């Protein structure tokens, strides 16, 4: 849940680079002739993304009888996914420079899970399996960690309110207002239970979208695992160097930890420290 500036590379530019890596003249011409309207496709995509309407973008569906459906002007799904896998991702292809430029734009932190994972790949916001026409559209390629990329897989919803957050296009309020919270489960070891609670003024659609994002990326479990690994350090500090603090002072210390991290508002560690600071049982307990 980290906002990113979209890549400053057009679809036409990306295609030009990709085509330059195709050695066969006939094959290159086949692609170029079949996609003469890259600017229009990109415009259609951007309008959809800006209006959270990408669930309506034309999709292709494979069936048992037609596993490799025609997409346009003689190009099949496999031809278009090949543009990505064979002419965009491989290290020695000119398209790889664009791949790498997009990948480093997140500065290593995956925007979907808010930095739980390190960026390892590019995620197709509209999966190439169903939207092969935009398999190398830069605006559709978002830096991602392996887990987020795996969790999402080829899934893309048919409903507007089930769409996960788009780090390039979605409104700032998703990224600057807190909608993930945690409660402390008084147990040994201490457990944090993360949950979604969007601000009261949000629309029903926005509320449902963050719930979808939280569920699709399995953030409750992944955040809880991170917290479980991190908590012993806080507990050890409380037992040793901070043992003289009153519960109120310890609570204030935890609040400061959350504030001082300069972490995004829904980052698991920030949410964790805020939850701990507000929990009377945790702050007053003798560890």
Minimum gap (Å) between residue 258 Cβ and Zn ion: 21
Angle at which helix 38-50 crosses helix 11-20, to 10 degrees, equals 130
Q: How far is the CB of 36 from Zn ion (least distance, A)?
A: 36
Nearer to Zn ion, 95 or 127 (CB): 127
Query: Quick one: 153 or 284, whose CB is closer to Zn ion?
Result: 153
H/E run at residue 12: helix 11-20
**Phi-psi domain of 36 (left: phi exceeds 0; alpha: psi -120 through 50; beta: other):** alpha
Read out DSSP for 198-240?
Answer: --TTS-HHHHHHHHHHHHHTTHHHHHHHHHHHHHHHHHHHHHT
Binding interface with Zn ion (CB under 5 A): 110, 112-113, 117, 145, 148
Distance CA 264, CA 197 (A): 16
Nearest CB to Zn ion, comparing residues 20 and 153: 153
- Closest distance of CB 167 from Zn ion, Å: 11
CB of 268 closer than 8 Å to CB of 116? yes
Torsion-angle region of residue 127: left (phi > 0), alpha (psi -120 to 50) or beta?
beta
Residue closer to Zn ion by CB (options 113, 184) is 113
Provide, rounded to whole angstroms, the least separation between the CB of residue 145 and Zn ion: 3
User: 228 — alpha (psi -120 to 50), left (phi > 0) or beta?
Assistant: alpha
Nearer to Zn ion, 118 or 284 (CB): 118
Least spacing, CB of residue 146 vs Zn ion, in Å: 8
Q: Which of 112/156 has CB closer to Zn ion?
A: 112
Task: Show Cβ contacts of residue 283 under 8 Å, excluding neighbours closer than 6 positions.
Answer: 247, 248, 250, 251, 254, 276, 277
CB 277 → Zn ion: shortest distance, Å?
26
């Amino acid at each position: 849940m980290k906002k990113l500036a979209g890549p400053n590379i057009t679809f036409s530019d990306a295609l030009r680079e990709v085509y330059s890596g195709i050695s066969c003249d006939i094959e290159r011409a086949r692609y170029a002739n079949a996609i003469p309207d890259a600017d229009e496709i990109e415009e259609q995509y951007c309008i959809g993304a800006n209006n959270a309407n990408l669930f309506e973008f034309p999709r292709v569906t494979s069936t048992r009888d037609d596993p490799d459906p025609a997409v346009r002007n003689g190009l099949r799904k496999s031809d278009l996914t090949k543009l990505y896998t064979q002419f965009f991702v491989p290290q020695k292809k000119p398209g790889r420079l664009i791949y790498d430029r997009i990948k480093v734009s997140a500065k290593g932190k995956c925007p979907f899970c808010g930095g739980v994972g390190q960026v390892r790949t590019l995620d197709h916001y509209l999966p190439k399996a169903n939207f092969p026409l935009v398999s190398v559209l830069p605006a559709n390629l978002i830096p991602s960690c392996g887990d987020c990329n795996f969790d999402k897989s080829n899934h893309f919803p048919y409903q507007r309110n089930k769409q996960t957050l788009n780090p390039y296009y979605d409104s700032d309020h998703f990224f600057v207002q807190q909608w993930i919270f945690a409660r402390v489960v008084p147990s040994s070891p201490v457990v944090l239970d993360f949950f979604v609670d969007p601000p009261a003024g949000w629309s029903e659609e926005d509320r449902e979208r963050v719930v979808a994002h939280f569920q699709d990326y399995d953030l409750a479990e992944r955040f809880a695992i991170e917290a479980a690994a991190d908590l012993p350090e806080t507990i050890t500090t409380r037992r040793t160097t901070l043992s003289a603090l009153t519960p109120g002072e310890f609570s204030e210390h935890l609040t400061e930890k959350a504030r001082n991290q300069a972490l995004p508002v829904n980052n698991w560690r920030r949410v964790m420290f805020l939850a701990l600071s507000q929990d009377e049982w945790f702050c007053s307990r003798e560890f």
